[in-house]
């Protein structure tokens, strides 16, 4: 198929959006299983919070390690085949995870998650710029927000599906394991518990492999990103990637944002436990964060860019994040947990706004810029680790506040000023990376 020039609206635009929407739903479901997996391995392998949080650590660090190799792969395969390859790698990771759970190997399970994350790194490096440049860059946040609705709707279902299959009666099971005096009997109980994950992950692997084949056979067009959002008057072929400061500030913004998102989505489980909620009560808390994100996406689709530009919406979302973080700090129990879930609303439009702003004007550097942004997803590995280590020595609410507020303040900076860095504006002054509506 002849490559489509970025930014055009081809006749198969709707079909392309549907196919990409399915892909976003798939990696939303897989990604937000992590919140339930944290609880699952904590009980099944008898882990402390720090060890259980190796789940998001290895999952998100794979983005940092493999995003740049993914960009090289995409140069050779194109975006369409690259997405299919990402799904296939995810399938291999799911099989490795399933086998490790059957063998009662936490190390093996972490390796499987790393491979799943590797597949997602390839998939995200292709799919995010693809949807950003499928139409006009000014409405990129709206298209990414639509993908976010698919992503978070599936992510909201993940804890319930996982809970039904694997976390049924988790409180009673945990009590039974703790009450068992014999080490051998306790090991048998724990092995039986984690073995529940084998069949669901084998099924997941089969589904992912089938989807990879379907993507290759689909009518999804190949898009050439070289003409994406060119900045008039610049020679994009001669510009070094280091001459785009708005991109590098955006990489840091993605790093911070993903950390904020994982804290609100995955970290809410540990936060809820620390607030005194039972294991059965916390296993579905991530769904409430996803619901809040869905509401935020719907608001974003309705408001951007017609009523408010994506960069202004980003700044407003960061202010909400600061307010909700302080709300969680000043309240207790269910209300405090509710403020953490409400961060989903504040977080919703951050990725959809940051990504198009950061790749604006990159031209033939778009794949590489996208890979750098995907590397920033490593914030989901490191920022939660900062929280679980802090909460070992200070109050968990204070630890949460100290992690979240500086992060949202940086996102506010990027939405207000950082996205303009290096961007030529009217009359030679710095101006917005994306035209104000």
pLDDT bracket for residue 435 (50, 70, 90): very low
Q: Distance (Å, rounded) from C-alpha 359 to C-alpha 228?
A: 9
Please determine, for residue 107, whether its predicted confidence score (pLDDT) is greater than 90.
yes
CA distance 311 to 418: 10
pLDDT of 190 > 70? The answer is yes
Backbone torsions φ then ψ of 5, nearest 5 degrees: -70, 135
What the block records as the tokens of 54 is: 């190796």
Q: What crossing angle do the helices spanning 333-347 and 396-416 adopt, rounded to 10°? A: 20
CATH architecture of 4-226+239-421: Up-down Bundle (1.20)
Q: 229 or 33: whose pLDDT is higher? A: 33
pLDDT at 110 over 90: yes
> What local confidence, expressed as pLDDT, does residue 58 receive?
94
> What tokens were used for 231?
């900045």
Q: Compute the radius of gyration of the chain from its Cα atoms.
A: 21
Distance separating alpha carbons of residues 49 and 392, to the nearest angstrom: 9
Tell me how many degrees the CA angle 61-216-66 measures, rounded to the nearest 5.
15
Percent of the chain with pLDDT over 70: 88
DSSP state of 332: -
Q: Which residues of 339-351 are buried (b: 16+ CB within 10 A; e: fewer)?
A: bbbbbbbbbbbbb
How many CA atoms lie less than 13 Å away from 337 in the CB half-sphere?
Answer: 23
Which of 133 and 404 is assigned the larger pLDDT? 404
Q: If you average pLDDT over residues 104-129, what whole number do you get?
A: 90
Closest CA to 373 of 342, 343, 414: 414
For the chain, which residues make up each domain, given as ranges? Answer: 4-226+239-421
CA 342 to chain centre: 17
Does 59 score more than 70 pLDDT? yes
| % of the chain residues with pLDDT over 90 | 42
With 60 as the cut, is the pLDDT of residue 4 above it?
no
- Which of the residue ranges 40-49, 278-287, 300-309 has the most confident prediction, judged by mean pLDDT? 40-49
pLDDT number for residue 141: 64
**What six digits make up the tokens of 225?**
């990103």
Highest mean pLDDT among 13-22, 29-38, 333-342: 333-342
Q: What is the pLDDT of residue 407?
A: 97
C-alpha 218/C-alpha 19 separation (Å) is 8
pLDDT at 241 over 60: yes
Residue bearing tokens 């499987």: 112
Give the distance, in angstroms, between the CA of residue 198 and the centroid of all CA atoms in the same chain.
Answer: 24
Closest to 366 measured CA to CA, from 203, 142, 133, 105: 133
pLDDT of residue 70: 84
Mean pLDDT calculated for residue range 412-431: 70
Instruction: Quote the CA–CA distance of 200 and 202 in Å, as a whole number.
Output: 6
pLDDT value for 225 = 54
Instruction: Give per-residue pLDDT as tens, 284-312.
Output: 898 899 899 989 988 888 887 788 888 89
Question: Residue 12's pLDDT band (boundaries 50, 70, 90)?
Answer: low
pLDDT in tens, 66-83: 888 888 888 888 888 888
Task: Please tell me the distance from the alpha carbon of residue 133 to that of residue 128, in angstroms, as a whole number.
Answer: 9
C-alpha distances in angstroms, 314 versus 63, 101, 297, 301? Answer: 23, 40, 12, 13
Q: Which pLDDT value is given to residue 242?
A: 84
* pLDDT band of 432, cuts 50, 70, 90: very low
Band (pLDDT 50/70/90 cuts) for residue 426 is very low
Mean pLDDT of the chain: 84
**For residue 224, what pLDDT is reported?**
58
User: If you average pLDDT over residues 202-228, what whole number do you get?
Assistant: 81
| Cα torsion through 314, 316, 318, 319, rounded to 10 | 170
Element (H, E) at 4: strand 4-5
* Whole-number Å distance between alpha carbons of 122 and 303: 31
- Region 268-280 average pLDDT: 90
Return the higher-pLDDT residue of 411 and 1: 411
Say if residue 305 is preceded by a cis peptide, omega within 30 of 0: yes
DSSP codes, 186-203: HHHHHHHHHGGGHHHHHH
Q: What is the predicted pLDDT for the residue at 251?
A: 96
Residue 425's pLDDT is: 52
Q: Say how far apart CA 282 and CA 396 lie, in whole Å.
A: 16
Predicted TM-score of the model (pTM): 0.81
């Amino acid at each position: 198929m002849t490559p489509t020039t970025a930014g055009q609206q081809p006749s198969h635009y709707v079909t392309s959006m549907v196919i990409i929407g399915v892909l976003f739903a798939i990696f939303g479901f897989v990604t937000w299983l992590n919140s339930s997996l944290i609880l699952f391995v904590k009980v099944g392998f008898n882990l402390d919070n720090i060890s259980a949080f190796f789940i998001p650590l290895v999952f998100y660090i794979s983005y940092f390690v493999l995003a740049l190799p993914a960009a090289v792969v995409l140069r050779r395969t194109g975006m369409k085949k690259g997405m299919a390859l990402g799904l296939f790698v995810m399938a291999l990771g799911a099989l490795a995870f399933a086998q490790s759970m059957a063998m009662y190997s936490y190390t093996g399970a972490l390796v499987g998650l790393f491979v799943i994350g590797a597949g997602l790194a390839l998939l995200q490096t292709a799919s995010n710029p693809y949807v950003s440049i499928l139409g006009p860059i000014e409405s990129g946040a709206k298209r990414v927000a639509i993908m976010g609705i698919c992503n978070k709707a599936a992510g909201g279902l993940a804890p319930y599906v996982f809970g039904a299959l694997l976390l049924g009666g988790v409180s009673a099971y945990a009590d039974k394991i703790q009450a068992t005096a014999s080490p051998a009997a306790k090991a048998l109980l724990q092995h039986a518990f984690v073995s529940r994950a084998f069949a669901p992950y084998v099924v997941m692997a089969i589904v992912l492999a089938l989807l990879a084949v379907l993507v290759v056979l689909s009518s999804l067009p190949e898009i050439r990103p070289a003409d994406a959002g060119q900045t008039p008057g610049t020679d994009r072929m001669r510009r070094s990637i280091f001459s785009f400061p708005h991109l590098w500030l955006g990489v840091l913004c993605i790093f911070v944002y993903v950390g904020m998102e994982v804290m609100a989505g995955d970290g809410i489980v540990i936060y809820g436990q620390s607030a005194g909620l039972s294991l059965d009560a916390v296993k579905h808390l991530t769904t409430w964060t996803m619901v809040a994100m869905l509401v935020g996406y719907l608001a974003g689709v309705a408001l951007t860019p017609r009523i408010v530009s994506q960069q202004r919406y980003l700044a407003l979302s960061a202010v909400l994040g600061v307010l909700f973080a302080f709300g969680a700090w000043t309240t207790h129990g269910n209300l405090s947990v509710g403020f953490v879930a409400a961060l989903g609303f504040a977080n919703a439009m951050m990725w959809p706004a940051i990504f198009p702003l950061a790749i604006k004007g990159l031209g033939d550097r778009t794949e590489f810029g996208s890979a750098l942004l995907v590397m920033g997803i490593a914030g989901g590995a490191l920022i939660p680790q900062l929280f679980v280590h802090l909460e070992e020595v200070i109050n968990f609410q204070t630890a949460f506040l100290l992690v979240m507020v500086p992060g949202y303040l940086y996102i506010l900076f990027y939405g207000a000023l950082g996205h303009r860095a290096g961007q030529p504006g009217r009359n030679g002054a710095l101006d917005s990376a994306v035209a104000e509506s």
